[in-house]
């Protein structure tokens, strides 16, 4: 009897092992959102519409991932990213929030996007979405109709990044040319080169090397804002030699809600521009000052600070404008908005 029991137990163990071996291994599920752009085929100059492959078509271009991931697809819009607006970007961010809220099964979300305004859209989504699961943008400099298109490779790397548990709690990421960038720092620096996206002195945060997702550093200084809308009436003005402040005055005349000024050096501006800034503040415009040098933090004069002008810290003009667009959708309180810029710039108030 004792031996029979041992035999029976052994058989049960073998059955359990065999059953486990036959159970399909679970794979992560990713949601791919298409928005158009070169990665989907480019833009028809006559209509501004993408030519175009949908999200499902794009996913079909990366067969190497079959069996390794479950993918749902959706076409959110099909436009060239030069036609993106803050309203569309905000709706996209809301769609991402809704998916994360209703889809606990998702490991992450991938968004295909044109390169023209990718740095702005990705940053706006980063400001709105507060979920540990990754959101990864993929784009291309060469359309799928050419033999050396970088789109399929960039999309595959973005999906692999969204699948990886290592990508959690790193905010919105941008995947191009094997590089992984934080949406907070990434910018487009070349019109057509495949290595056109970089993060300046802050550097990329990781890479995808032969399918392996590797991170070198953590993106810091994230800001999330509980905005229920965005304020698109924010102008961006770059100062030039001999500037008389006419574009700042124009912002006042056209009733802009805010203006971001790319000033000289650490925030320097000629007297005529300072007068225009004072006029803008008296008219109720929210004014943010950054440097036109792209790198480096501004240091505002006491007069500007006392008048309520906000330091944009080390943000470039495009990122500062997006932050103000989102911030004004939540509040017009200058100290609160300044605190968000401090946070994005890594400044800790004591």
Which residue numbers are catalytic? 38
Token pair recorded at residue 203: 């550097």
Q: Among positive and negative, which fits the CA dihedral 168, 174, 175, 178?
A: negative
Residue 344 · residue 221 · CB < 8 Å = yes
Token pair recorded at residue 308: 């309520």
Q: How far apart are CA 293 and CA 69, in angstroms?
A: 43
């Amino acid at each position: 009897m004792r031996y029979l029991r041992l035999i029976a137990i052994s058989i049960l163990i073998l059955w359990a092992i065999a059953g486990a071996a036959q159970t399909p291994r679970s794979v992560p599920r990713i949601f791919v959102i298409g928005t158009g752009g070169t990665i989907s085929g480019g833009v028809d100059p006559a209509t501004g519409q993408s030519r175009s492959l949908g999200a499902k078509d794009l996913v079909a271009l990366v067969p190497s991932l079959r069996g390794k991931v479950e993918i749902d697809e959706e076409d959110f819009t099909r436009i060239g990213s030069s036609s993106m607006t803050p309203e569309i970007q905000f709706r996209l961010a809301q769609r991402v929030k809704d998916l994360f809220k209703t889809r606990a099964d998702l490991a992450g979300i991938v968004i295909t996007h044109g390169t023209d305004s990718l740095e702005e859209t990705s940053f706006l989504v980063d400001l709105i979405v507060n979920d540990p699961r990754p959101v990864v943008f993929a784009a291309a400099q060469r359309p799928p109709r050419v033999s050396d298109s970088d789109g399929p490779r960039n999309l595959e790397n973005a999906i692999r990044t969204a699948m990886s548990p290592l990508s959690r709690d790193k905010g919105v990421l941008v995947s191009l040319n094997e590089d992984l960038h934080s949406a907070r720092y990434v910018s487009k620096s070349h019109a057509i080169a495949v290595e056109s996206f970089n993060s300046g002195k802050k550097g990329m945060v990781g890479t995808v090397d032969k399918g392996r997702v590797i991170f070198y550093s953590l993106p810091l200084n994230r800001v999330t804002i509980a905005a229920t809308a965005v304020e698109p009436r924010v102008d961006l003005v770059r100062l030039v030699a001999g500037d008389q402040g006419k574009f700042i005055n124009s912002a006042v005349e056209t009733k802009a809600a805010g203006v971001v000024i790319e000033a000289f050096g650490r925030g320097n501006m000629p007297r005529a521009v300072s007068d225009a800034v004072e006029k803008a503040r008296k008219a109720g415009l929210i004014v943010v000052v950054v440097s036109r040098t792209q790198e480096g933090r501004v240091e505002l004069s006491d007069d500007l600070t006392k008048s309520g002008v906000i330091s944009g810290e080390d943000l470039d003009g495009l990122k500062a404008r997006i932050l103000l667009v989102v911030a004004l959708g939540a509040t017009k309180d200058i100290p609160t908005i300044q605190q968000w810029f401090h946070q994005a710039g890594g400044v800790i108030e004591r």
